[in-house]
């Protein structure tokens, strides 16, 4: 079945620097890759997603890139701010079995130091 | 307001005492799912439902039951809770259209402690 690996597990950056979180997936048929942000004590919330027919998507300070050949995708946050501090989860959806099944990575704790 | 709600938000119980965590969505979503979140393990799917009366096991279904009698509700049932089911539980829902799915929206979470 699908497996998603996420790195690093923790990331500390200075305010204003960029942060990059990387995920790899195993199912080459995966076609949808969302990223969720979870603040302390809150629910995961979608921040950006990408489908397999595009290679990059941007939304203000965040961007996601997808390399289907290498089966990896990355989240890029530029000009980080303290409010970006949270746990970030990547996920991948395969096409086998349940069409809605998302497999999540284990999360990255991002700490932005003021 | 479009939302997914869960109740209770916090629950402390004892081993073997049956409990139900409710989940409800008002977005007319076909798909609903339960996840548990444990440190270092991310979000793991327990059960999911593609529509009314259609449910299936996720990755960690042991010790759990679900039902989907109505489109808006998807309760999670622990018939005989054990301490290893102490976790943070999230319900989620999304649309299903032409075998493609939309964004999954999460409920606020239920923190369960089994003593």
Which tens digits make up the pLDDT trace of B45-56? 999 998 899 999
Nearest Cα residue in chain B from A50: B103
Cα Rg for chain B, rounded, in angstroms?
A: 13
Q: CA end-to-end span of chain B, whole Å? A: 36
Dihedral sign for Cα B89, B39, B48, A48, please: positive
* Test the A interface: residue of B23, B27, B29, B43 with most A CBs within 10 Å: B43
pLDDT at A102: 83
Consecutive sets of 10 residues in chain B, 115 residues long: mean pLDDT of each? 92 97 95 92 91 91 97 97 97 74 86 97
CA dist B61 → A56, A92, B50, B57, B58 (Å): 35, 20, 16, 6, 6
Question: In this structure, what token pair is assigned to residue B4?
Answer: 């997914």
Nearest neighbour of B101 by CB, restricted to A9, A100, A105: A100
pLDDT at A98: 55
Contact across the interface for A100 and B109, Cβ inside 8 Å? no
Give A76's strand partners: A20, A63
Nearest Cα residue in chain A from B42: A106
Torsion of CA B65, B28, B112, A41, to 10 degrees: 150
* Contact residues for A107 (Cβ-Cβ < 8 A; gap 6+): A6, A9, A38, A87, A88, A89, B42
Interface of A with B in 34-93 (CB under 8 A): 34, 36, 42-46, 49, 89, 93
pLDDT at A61: 97
Tens-digit pLDDT profile for residues A87-100: 999 999 876 555 56
pLDDT at A96: 56
Answer yes or no: is pLDDT of A107 > 90. yes
Cα separation, A80 vs A69, in Å, equals 29
Average of per-residue pLDDT values in chain B: 92
Tens-digit pLDDT profile for residues A28-79: 888 889 999 999 989 999 999 998 888 999 999 999 999 999 999 999 999 9
Q: Does B42 touch chain A (CB under 8 A)?
A: yes
Q: Which of B70, B65, B66 is nearest to B29 (CA)?
A: B70
């Amino acid at each position: 079945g699908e497996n998603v690996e996420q790195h690093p597990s923790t990331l500390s950056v200075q305010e204003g620097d960029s942060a990059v979180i990387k995920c790899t997936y195993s199912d080459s048929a995966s076609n949808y890759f969302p990223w969720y942000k979870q603040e302390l004590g809150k629910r995961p919330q979608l921040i950006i997603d990408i489908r397999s027919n595009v290679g990059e998507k941007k939304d203000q300070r965040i961007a996601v890139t997808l390399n289907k050949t290498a089966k990896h995708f990355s989240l890029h946050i530029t000009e980080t701010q303290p409010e970006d501090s949270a746990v970030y989860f990547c996920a991948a959806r395969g096409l086998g079995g349940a069409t809605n099944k998302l497999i999540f990575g284990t999360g990255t704790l991002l700490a932005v130091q003021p | 307001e479009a939302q997914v709600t869960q109740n209770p938000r916090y629950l402390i119980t004892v081993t073997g005492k049956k409990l139900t965590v409710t989940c409800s969505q008002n977005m007319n979503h076909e798909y609903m799912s339960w996840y548990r979140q444990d440190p270092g393990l991310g979000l793991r799917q327990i059960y999911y439902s593609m529509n009314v009366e259609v449910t299936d096991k996720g990755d960690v279904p042991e010790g759990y039951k679900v039902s989907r009698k109505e489109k808006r509700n998807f309760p999670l049932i622990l018939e005989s809770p054990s301490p290893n089911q102490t976790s943070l539980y999230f319900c989620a829902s999304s649309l299903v259209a032409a075998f493609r799915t939309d964004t999954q929206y999460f409920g606020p979470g239920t923190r369960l402690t089994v003593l």
